[in-house]
Structure 1
Amino acid sequence: MTAADIPAVHDLERRLFPVDAWPLQMFSAELAQAATRRYVVAELAGRIVGYAGLMCIRPIADVQTIAVVPEQEGKGIGSALLTELIRESLLRRADDVLLEVRADNPRAQQLYRRYGFEQIHVRPRYYRDGVDALIMRLRLGAPEPDTTPTEAGRP
């Protein structure tokens, strides 16, 4: 995403998230923080049809936003955007990727689960219209050490 993309992205934001849309200047502020942010767009025939953003302050990466126009859902655009955010999280050496997803958005929840995200918490009435947010996490870091006793070293 570049500064030139912001007007089109903001138009989509208002269309897709009318109650919770980010103000225009928030996209500019996010792009200005390249050390901790990464924003991407998906284009089809020269038109932006999706966008996504990540904040990474090690050891945590946080998906700030991800959206695809409804008429392009189910065509792999959301998967491509999420793959890019996970790739960026790995490049930035994050241990975990977190995100919030609306409790009433099973399509997005299914996408995240396919990528290995697990629900870890609920934020009641997180969205302005009163819908809960499900907090989901994808572990990227080294697996937890196995502390199960073994037969090795026993007499």
Structure 2
Amino acid sequence: MNGVAALAVEFFPMAVADLEAVTAVEASLQDFPWTRGNFADSLHAGYSAWIASIGGEVIGFSVVMQVLDEAHLLNIGIASQHQGRGFGARLLRQAMTNAAQNGAHWMFLEVRPGNARAVALYRHFGFHEIGRRKDYYPARQGREDALVFQKELPACR
């Protein structure tokens, strides 16, 4: 087992100092990534933004906007070299727990229908499809729909 694999993933609130690393992870994952400005705006707006880190290296992030009892997962990602090891599941679980602790009863998200790994992850965690947003995402050729998922969050007291 190499040294990185032996280290545990840790979660920290995202800070301005993390934005370059977070933006680099996002750019490596998406054809149409969020910009540094998108992440900075999320921090400025007070959204729940977290990083996943292994040995000081940012390997992932999540951004959740919460309004009253509804949380909306705006963005989540794990660097491709760290995918398939359960880190995305842990980051999603952490985002849901934080939202529930902050009074959210529901979490919503959009996902590309073609992102089979993400769709499977969300379904595994009990999200179910409640709709479709036509032409929601930019795509290499035109636009792509988004599946809208919803999950009731367990009460945290």
Structure number with larger C-alpha Rg: 1
**Alignment partner for residue 2 of structure 1, among 1, 11, 15?**
15
Give the structure 2 partner of residue 25 of structure 1: 37
Supply the RMSD in Å over aligned alpha carbons.
Answer: 1.4
Q: Which runs of 5+ in 2 are unaligned?
A: 1-13
What TM-score does the superposition give when structure 1 sets the normalisation length?
A: 0.84
Distance 1:14 1:127 in 2: 16
Give the structure 2 partner of residue 148 of structure 1: none
Q: Give the C-alpha shift of residue 124 in structure 1.
A: 1.8
Q: Give the C-alpha shift of residue 141 in structure 1.
A: 6.6
Q: Is contact 1:122–1:135 with CA below 8 Å preserved after alignment?
A: yes
Give the structure 1 partner of residue 81 of structure 2: 71
- Alignment of 1:85 with 2:95, yes or no, is yes
Would you identify which runs of 4 or more consecutive aligned residues in structure 1 move more than 2 Å? none
Percent identity among equivalent residues? 31
Distance 1:79 1:73 in 2: 10
Q: Is contact 1:103–1:133 with CA below 8 Å preserved after alignment?
A: yes
In the alignment of these two chains, the number of paired residues is 139
**Which structure ranks higher in relative contact order (CA pairs < 8 Å, sequence separation ≥ 6)?**
2
Q: Is contact 1:54–1:63 with CA below 8 Å preserved after alignment?
A: yes
Q: Give the C-alpha shift of residue 57 in structure 1.
A: 0.4
More strand by share: 2
Q: Give the C-alpha shift of residue 23 in structure 1.
A: 2.1
Q: Is contact 1:123–1:135 with CA below 8 Å preserved after alignment?
A: yes
What TM-score does the superposition give when structure 2 sets the normalisation length?
A: 0.83
**Alignment partner for residue 125 of structure 1, among 115, 131, 135?**
135
